[in-house]
Chain A
Amino acid sequence: MRRASLLVAISFGAAILAALGLFVVYVAGGQPQVEGALLFVALVGIGMGLMVWATRLMTGIGHVTQARRHAPPPSGEKEAATEAMAGGVEEMSRRRLLFRLLLGAAGALGLAAIFPIRSLGRAPGASLFRTEWRAGLRLVNVDGNLVTRDTLEVDSFTTVFPEDAVGSGDSQAVLIRVPPGSLRLPADRLAGAPDGYVAYSKICTHAGCALGLYLAAVHQLRCPCHQSTFDVLNGAEPVYGPAARPLPQLPIEIDPDGTIRALGDFTAPVGPAFWDLPPS
């Protein structure tokens, strides 16, 4: 008993000192680790003090047994409650016309209250089917600088945007330079990938993360979120992971002066699947 009350006193005392210490630390400019440690002592001091007090010093208060209900309420009680509830509804539904009008009014108002939800966002329209890329737009990097034939070494890649939409969420693309002649694309798509330069949407077709990892040795793009992996040489077809669709290709051309331009928009809607996406 004496030891317990001493323990409680020490706990509360430590809490007081720690709280005063917190005050000093705060005035002195604050320091996260010291604040955390002092807060710990102050709070646990009070907590432990209270718990020791209750368990060790309140020996006079023992266990008490109380009755509790161990069956559903008697049926009379239940019926009375049901009767009171149902009786009220019947009192109203008796006037059939008024009751129906009330339901109608509530329903109509509820319907009207739904409409403001429409204000929450733009209509999707065709926005998921197109990006900012147009024929003739030059490719720029994240700093807005033009990307040219000389920007990339073979087996390296960079993130590109249309020149007027740097940082755009849906237009982001990766431009990759692979050894010339190594691409295995259908003829019409190969035309949009001159001299070993090929561009794909940077948005993973699985869950929409930006593809960040290019495994140059195997020419694969990998998503850091769920490890979907796309074969760059073979039209960015998925070769591993949960993605089902290839990355859409951005057809490009190279001007005689080395400037790289888009030939149009991506070959398919970018990003993850959605209901209105037609099967490819």
Chain B
Amino acid sequence: MIVRRWVEGVDERLEGSSFISRNLRKVFPDHWSFMLGEIALYSFLLLVLTGTFLSFFFLASNQPVTYTGPYQPLQGQTVSAAYDSVMRISFEVRAGLVMRQMHHWAALVFMGAIIAHLIRVFFTGAFRKPREISWLIGIGLFLSGIGAGFSGYSLPDDALSGAGLRIAYSIMLSIPFVGTWLAYLFFGGEFPGPDILNRLLVLHIFIIPLAIFSLLGAHLAVVWHQTHTQFRAPGRTEDTVTGTPVWPKFALKSIGLAFTTFGVIAFLGGLFQVNPIWLYGPFVAYSTASPSQPDYYIGWLEGLLRVWPDWEFHVFGHTIGELLLPALVVPGLVFTILALWPFLEARVSGDHEWHHFAQHPREAPVRSGFGAAGVAFFVVLVVAGGNDVVAKFLGVEVDSFNSILRWALFLVPVLSGLATYWICRDLRDRPRHPLAAPPRVTFRRNAAGGFEEIESEPPLAGQALEEPDRT
């Protein structure tokens, strides 16, 4: 067979026999939650594919042009060349709108999968020694994803993205000592800056994707080398890994997941409108779209700006504005704590051992409590990022809704954290999980006509509730 001859031919020249056979036979554990990271990976691939198509048409220029395309309401209006090119992609390039909307949806799925994956790794303690490096790389990927998203949706130069850029510029200005210079160097001058679209494009299609590619490569290489964590189950030990061999079974499943991810994003991109820039209109410095919400992975940062009080500080005749704390210091702290969590937890618990077994959230009530509080904090802030829309929906004044949000930002995380802690502690201390199947007992009829018990599962300790895979 030709495949065999090729493999042998390559093998002979690169001396890769042992490498190939070792890695093709490598086993991967099965658990649905391992798919979250894979979904992130595959939506990134789709982002690269659709993004490449878009880049063939996009013009990163704020030169004014007159719109003459088929969208009637904008006929004859002066718009930037960038906005004009995105309108062309949306209305004139065949399959352009599907590609554009798939690109946007893929970004939303990408960030969602990253966040879900992060939550899964956190709550199962899969970040513990020796996997702290993977965790750090993952945080880097999360941050790169936020950067990729922001730089991407700022490119079309529409009214909504213009407001986002204006806020980003103002945030840069708020940095002590160097802020003004930083903003001027990044934007090329005072807002709106002559060169900003070009720079965002280079960031969006070269620098950040390169960073994501490198980090992703490292992330996968480390996982491949260190193997996945697994839940405890009968027959499993810390120094073995049980699962499906990569080739062909695991690979086929994973490639199947890739195509399914692509398909779902194509469905969203084809049937669900996203970022309709023709409704927002082109960016002009003197007008702001209302309501204006960023995508949800930026929404929590926007929420911080909306609930933060009007604090301004003066230091030796200088001003520290209202933006520095909520826009840079608090998110900086959040990501620092997140990145250092494995090390903080190891220090506090004194646990510096290697762990290959994943934990159930109930096995680590304190960690799970903090995790739930973190998720709640994030959710409240995303709601706060759309406070005007939500208040309108609820039929309340945005001012009073904002006061509720300020309380909620403290209370909801604390209460969810405590509730999670208590529930986890209770579950951990029970001999059997209340939702687990009752112990299985087998009876046999004996010669005398009665029944005797021949087999019964021993009651399991709190940690060992995961049923073995039945593949």
A interface list, Cβ under 8 A from B? 26, 29-30, 32-37, 39-55, 58, 61-72, 117-118, 120-124, 127-128, 142, 159, 161, 167-170, 172, 202, 206-213, 223-228, 238, 240-245, 271-279
B interface list, Cβ under 8 A from A? 25-27, 94-95, 97-98, 101-102, 130, 163, 166-167, 169-171, 173-181, 184-193, 195, 226-227, 238-245, 248-250, 252-253, 255-264, 266-271, 284-292, 305-306, 308-312, 314, 317-323, 326, 354, 356, 387-388, 398-399, 402, 469, 471
| Min CB gap B261→A, angstroms | 8
* Cβ contact within 8 Å between B319 and A70: no
Contacts of A123 in B (CB 8 A): 181, 184
Contact of B185 among A52, A120, A244 (CB under 8 A): A120
Q: How far is the CA of A68 from the CA of B29 in the complex (A)?
A: 13
User: What 4 pairs between A and B have smallest CB-CB spacing?
Assistant: A36-B270, A273-B321, A47-B259, A50-B256
If A44-B264, A279-B319 are given as contacts, then 11 extra A-B residue pairs at C-beta distance below 8 Å, sorted by A number, are: A36-B270, A47-B259, A47-B263, A49-B256, A54-B250, A121-B193, A124-B180, A224-B291, A228-B310, A244-B310, A275-B175
* Cβ contact within 8 Å between B319 and A238: no
* Cβ contact within 8 Å between A276 and B180: yes
Q: How far is the CA of A82 from the CA of B375 in the complex (A)?
A: 41
| Min CB gap A213→B, angstroms | 7
Contact of A244 among B180, B184, B256, B312 (CB under 8 A): B312
* Cβ contact within 8 Å between B170 and A272: yes
* Cβ contact within 8 Å between B190 and A63: no
* Cβ contact within 8 Å between A208 and B354: no
Closest B residue by C-beta to A277? B319
Contacts of A44 in B (CB 8 A): 259-260, 263-264, 267
A-B contact pairs, 28 of them (CB 8 A): A36-B102, A36-B267, A39-B267, A40-B263, A41-B263, A43-B259, A44-B259, A53-B256, A54-B252, A63-B471, A64-B243, A68-B227, A68-B239, A68-B241, A120-B185, A121-B184, A159-B286, A172-B286, A208-B191, A209-B163, A209-B167, A213-B290, A225-B163, A227-B388, A245-B312, A271-B173, A273-B321, A274-B173
* Cβ contact within 8 Å between A273 and B174: yes
Contacts of A212 in B (CB 8 A): 287-288, 290
User: Chain A interface mostly helix, strand, loop or mixed?
Assistant: loop
Q: How far is the CA of A225 from the CA of B322 in the complex (A)?
A: 14
Contacts of A272 in B (CB 8 A): 170, 173-174, 321-323
* Cβ contact within 8 Å between B173 and A273: yes
Q: How far is the CA of A252 from the CA of B264 in the complex (A)?
A: 58
Given A36-B270, A273-B322, does the pair A43, B186 have CB atoms closer than 8 Å? Answer: no
Contacts of B186 in A (CB 8 A): 120-121
* Cβ contact within 8 Å between B290 and A208: no
Contacts of B289 in A (CB 8 A): 224
Given A58-B249, A124-B181, A210-B286, does the pair A30, B94 have CB atoms closer than 8 Å? Answer: yes
Given A36-B267, A272-B321, does the pair A48, B95 have CB atoms closer than 8 Å? Answer: no
Q: How far is the CA of A64 from the CA of B183 in the complex (A)?
A: 56
Q: How far is the CA of A52 from the CA of B321 in the complex (A)?
A: 57
Closest B residue by C-beta to A51? B256
Given A39-B270, A273-B322, does the pair A208, B259 have CB atoms closer than 8 Å? Answer: no
* Cβ contact within 8 Å between A278 and B319: yes
Q: How far is the CA of A158 from the CA of B244 in the complex (A)?
A: 68
* Cβ contact within 8 Å between A120 and B257: no
* Cβ contact within 8 Å between A274 and B270: no
* Cβ contact within 8 Å between B310 and A243: yes
Q: Of residues A70, A172, A213, A225, which shows the largest number of chain B Cβ atoms within 10 Å of its Cβ? A: A225
| Min CB gap A187→B, angstroms | 27
Q: How far is the CA of A211 from the CA of B288 in the complex (A)?
A: 7
Contacts of A46 in B (CB 8 A): 256, 259
Q: How far is the CA of A48 from the CA of B259 in the complex (A)?
A: 8
Contact of A242 among B169, B239, B309, B398 (CB under 8 A): B309
Q: How far is the CA of A40 from the CA of B268 in the complex (A)?
A: 9
Given A26-B94, A35-B95, A209-B167, does the pair A167, B286 have CB atoms closer than 8 Å? Answer: yes
Contact of B27 among A36, A64, A120 (CB under 8 A): A64
* Cβ contact within 8 Å between A210 and B188: no
Given A37-B267, A54-B256, A226-B306, does the pair A244, B311 have CB atoms closer than 8 Å? Answer: yes
* Cβ contact within 8 Å between A273 and B264: no
Contacts of A241 in B (CB 8 A): 310
Given A51-B252, A121-B184, A275-B180, does the pair A65, B242 have CB atoms closer than 8 Å? Answer: yes
Contacts of A127 in B (CB 8 A): 189-190
Contact of B287 among A210, A244, A277, A279 (CB under 8 A): A210
* Cβ contact within 8 Å between A227 and B306: yes
Q: How far is the CA of A97 from the CA of B209 in the complex (A)?
A: 41
Q: How far is the CA of A243 from the CA of B171 in the complex (A)?
A: 13
Contacts of B471 in A (CB 8 A): 55, 62-63
| Min CB gap A61→B, angstroms | 5
Contacts of B469 in A (CB 8 A): 63
Q: How far is the CA of A223 from the CA of B102 in the complex (A)?
A: 32
* Cβ contact within 8 Å between A50 and B270: no
Given A54-B253, A278-B317, does the pair A40, B259 have CB atoms closer than 8 Å? Answer: no
Contacts of B171 in A (CB 8 A): 207
Contacts of A26 in B (CB 8 A): 94-95
Contact of A117 among B176, B185, B292, B318 (CB under 8 A): B185
Given A168-B285, A241-B310, does the pair A121, B245 have CB atoms closer than 8 Å? Answer: no
| Min CB gap B100→A, angstroms | 9
Closest A residue by C-beta to B268? A36
Q: Of residues B169, B173, B291, B326, which shows the largest number of chain A Cβ atoms within 10 Å of its Cβ? A: B173
Given A69-B239, A121-B184, A121-B187, does the pair A50, B271 have CB atoms closer than 8 Å? Answer: no
* Cβ contact within 8 Å between B244 and A63: yes
* Cβ contact within 8 Å between B166 and A207: yes
| Min CB gap A1→B, angstroms | 15
Contacts of A124 in B (CB 8 A): 180-181, 184, 190
| Min CB gap B362→A, angstroms | 24
Closest A residue by C-beta to B29? A63
* Cβ contact within 8 Å between B98 and A238: no
Q: How far is the CA of A252 from the CA of B326 in the complex (A)?
A: 36
| Min CB gap A245→B, angstroms | 7
| Min CB gap A132→B, angstroms | 11
Contact of A64 among B175, B176, B190, B242 (CB under 8 A): B242
* Cβ contact within 8 Å between B270 and A37: yes
| Min CB gap B252→A, angstroms | 4
Contacts of A277 in B (CB 8 A): 318-319, 321
Q: How far is the CA of A167 from the CA of B286 in the complex (A)?
A: 7
